[in-house]
Structure 1
Amino acid sequence: MKVSIEVINKDQEEEICIRCHEVNKEIHQIANQLKMNHSILVGHEDDKIHQIKLRDIYYFEAVEGKVFIYCKDKVYEVKHKLYEIEEMHRGEKFFRASKSTIINITKISHISPSFSGRFEAVLDNGERLMISRKYVPDLKKILGL
């Protein structure tokens, strides 16, 4: 595979172009990784507004009508609904784990079966999240199990 880099003027928009013989799983993974490295969401903490990189997000959770972004050691409120976040980041490294949670699969340290057909995901920061049995097949498909 050939990789090329071209320096452009500051007034031109940066872009990444992938030229391939066929679009396969590896090409999708490369494209998704590039998107995650540059995608930013706006999160609110008290009276402050923060730009949060998608790759730094561990999971989203809906609680009492509000949606929160959980990072390694900070929590921010986001003004989107959970279904909107799911739609915006479909095909990226996020999956719906329950009615109220969307998890970044790149932050999962390990998963294990739990009771009643559910799974438990342990994230890199030590947090434990339940994956409801309705979404276990989706997780298995994403992980190739």
Structure 2
Amino acid sequence: MQIKIIEDDRAEDIQITIRCPKQDEKLKALLALLQIQDHKCIGKYRGEDHLIPLEDIYYIDTLDKQVYLYTETITYESDLRLYEIEERFIDLDFLRIGKSTIINFQKIKSLRPDLGGRIQVTMKNGIKLFVSRQYAPSLKKRLGVLK
């Protein structure tokens, strides 16, 4: 891979052109990383709304019909439903791993097979989550293990 940066004082915004023989999983992951930089989510913390950059979110889950956004140090509440978050961010490297959980694929530290076809995911902040048997194939596909 070659990277070329051209500084131009006349440019109004960053422009990225990718020239490649064929799109593959590595390129899709790179695009997701680039796109995630421009997206934010609104979360409530101590009665105030905060704009949270998507790259700061480790995972999202629901408890008692309330959706929570987990960053490294703060847990925010969201007014969005889990399916709405999934629809908005699934193409931006977020992956549903269970009925009530979505993870940021870029925040995964390690994976380990678990009983019953589940997969234990350890996030970069040390939190351990489980990919249900139903969602394990989509994780394996994202990893390039399953086609």
Matched residue type, 2:4: V
Shift of 1:3: 2.5
Identity %: 32
Please, which runs of 5 or more residues in structure 2 have no aligned partner?
Answer: none
Q: Which residue of 2 aligns with 1:5?
A: 6
Single out whichever of 21-30 and 88-97 deviates more from structure 2.
Answer: 21-30
Shift of 1:39: 1.2
Distance 1:110 1:46, change over 3 A: same
Runs (4+) of structure 1 exceeding 3 A deviation are 4-10
State the TM-score, normalizing by the size of structure 2.
Answer: 0.86
* CA displacement, residues 48-71 of structure 1 (integer Å, 9 cap, x when unaligned): 111111111100001111111001
Matched residue type, 1:125: N
Matched residue type, 2:69: I
Report the secondary structure of 1:52's partner residue.
Answer: strand
Matched residue type, 2:76: Y
* CA displacement, residues 19-50 of structure 1 (integer Å, 9 cap, x when unaligned): 42555124322221111122111110121111
Q: Which residue of 1 aligns with 2:98?
A: 98
* Cα distance between partner residues in 2 of 1:130 and 1:29: 22
* Cα distance between partner residues in 1 of 2:104 and 2:135: 14
* Cα distance between partner residues in 2 of 1:68 and 1:8: 41
Distance 1:130 1:2, change over 3 A: closer
* CA displacement, residues 82-119 of structure 1 (integer Å, 9 cap, x when unaligned): 11111111222110000000011111111111111111
* Cα distance between partner residues in 2 of 1:82 and 1:23: 33
Distance 1:107 1:19, change over 3 A: closer
* Cα distance between partner residues in 1 of 2:43 and 2:8: 32
Please, which runs of 5 or more residues in structure 1 have no aligned partner?
Answer: none
Shift of 1:2: 5.6
- In angstroms, what is the RMSD of aligned CA positions? 1.9
Single out whichever of 107-116 and 126-135 deviates more from structure 2.
Answer: 107-116
Q: Does 1:111 pair with 2:123?
A: no
* Cα distance between partner residues in 1 of 2:106 and 2:117: 23
Q: Which residue of 2 aligns with 1:126?
A: 126
Single out whichever of 18-27 and 95-104 deviates more from structure 2.
Answer: 18-27
